[in-house]
Amino acid sequence: MKAVVVHGPNDLRIDDRPEPVAGPGEVVLDVEWGGICGSDLSYWRHGASGTAALKSPLVLGHEVAGRIAQLGAGVDHLEVGQSVTVHPAEPVGDGILPERLQGRTNLYPQIRYFGSAAFDPHTDGGFSERKLAKAFQVRPLPDGVDTLRGALAEPLAVAMHAVGRAGSLKGRDVLVNGAGPIGSLVTAAAKFAGARTVTATDISDASLRIAKAMGADEVLNVSDHPLPADLELVFEATGIPAVLGGVLRATARGGTVVQVGNLPGAPTASALGDLVTREITWVGSYRFVEEITDALLAMKDGLDVSPVISHRFGIDDAEQAMRTASDPAAGSSKVMLRLS
């Protein structure tokens, strides 16, 4: 079968990999769609994502959906041909968390994740014609949600988890700083959660047009306008340390910033003084727990996240898809791969 494999920095290949076979408690999926994420781009460009560095070739992709092709022994709650997506996380170990972290499985110390080099051997992702998964990772798609949108459930779950970290949004005015794919999905999730208004900011007019289509009440290009002032709730979705000073200054005294954009793991300069003098609550948001199920139900109930899809490519054109996703001039948002 064909698979999208990164062998090192700027070395992406379409390799022939063995066909998977479902063992006990496993399923094989015919993968139909996959969405390119920033971590996929980082492995391709740099041979690493955060502290996880390639030691061997890695099949990319953790935002996938398709149909069940094969069931292993003991899997009796799923059916061949069923449309599904996959929760890409698998805790490693006994699964026991301290009492203060009960239910927050995204914070388990060791987690294998589709398309990740955090472990050696690496955990191959789902950018392949077929993919083996544990049955407990599989989430059936509701009626009316096709596999193209089903592949958006994982990044929408990231956005919904971030929204949940802020508490109730009903009647609140929200700023989303950064209108890339996650920022635009946070915009949609915030409106779905009852935010009174959402203002999205970015330096790309193309990204802002997508944020507007995803439900933003107002969009603002901050390359020639300052951030709005005195907003009680801000979602920071760029992960760029240089912007943090401005974001904290834009946050109202006593307000909250939810950090959903991944920040660098290495030392970097940021102006953080307002965090103290304005008594701002700065909240981290990491992946998700079971919000992938909430994301599917939200799409079933009418949340339309399809405007975030900007480009589609076939599996043989995966490198061009990656180039498009990483090129600011391409006006891309979520770039999708048709895998089978």
Residue 211 and residue 184 in contact, taking contact as beta carbons nearer than 8 Å: yes
Q: Say if 294 falls within a structural domain.
A: no
Q: How confident is residue 9, by pLDDT bands cut at 50, 70 and 90?
A: very high
Q: Which two tokens stand for residue 105?
A: 């499985």
* Whether residue 224 is found in the same domain as residue 170: yes
Share of the chain above pLDDT 90, in %: 97
DSSP-assigned beta bridge partners for residue 45: none
Distance (Å, whole) CA 181 – CA 198? 16
| Local structure of 176: helix, strand or coil | strand
Domain that holds residue 201: 158-284
Q: Domains in the chain: how many in total?
A: 2
Q: Say if 70 falls within a structural domain.
A: yes
Helix or strand run (H / E) with residue 273: helix 273-277
First-last CA distance in the chain: 10
Residue 213 and residue 192 in contact, taking contact as beta carbons nearer than 8 Å: no
Over 90: is that where the pLDDT of 66 sits?
A: yes
pLDDT of residue 266: 83
* Whether residue 140 is found in the same domain as residue 165: no
CATH code of the domain covering residue 327: 3.90.180.10
- The single-letter DSSP state of residue 127 is -
* Whether residue 136 is found in the same domain as residue 7: yes
* Whether residue 103 is found in the same domain as residue 121: yes
* Whether residue 228 is found in the same domain as residue 206: yes
- The single-letter DSSP state of residue 315 is G
Closest alpha carbon to 198 in 133, 66, 183: 183
pLDDT of residue 265: 82
Express the helix, strand and coil content of the chain in percent, nearest 5 each: 30, 30, 40
Q: Is the dihedral of CA 284, 287, 290, 296 positive or negative?
A: positive
Q: How confident is residue 116, by pLDDT bands cut at 50, 70 and 90?
A: very high
pLDDT digits (tens, 9 = 90+) for 159-176: 999 999 999 999 999 999
Closest alpha carbon to 214 in 231, 227, 199: 199
| Average pLDDT, rounded, for the chain | 97
pTM for the whole structure: 0.97
Over 90: is that where the pLDDT of 95 sits?
A: no
* Whether residue 172 is found in the same domain as residue 131: no
Look at strands 281-284 and 251-259 and give their pairing. Answer: parallel
* Whether residue 20 is found in the same domain as residue 141: yes
Q: Say if 296 falls within a structural domain.
A: no
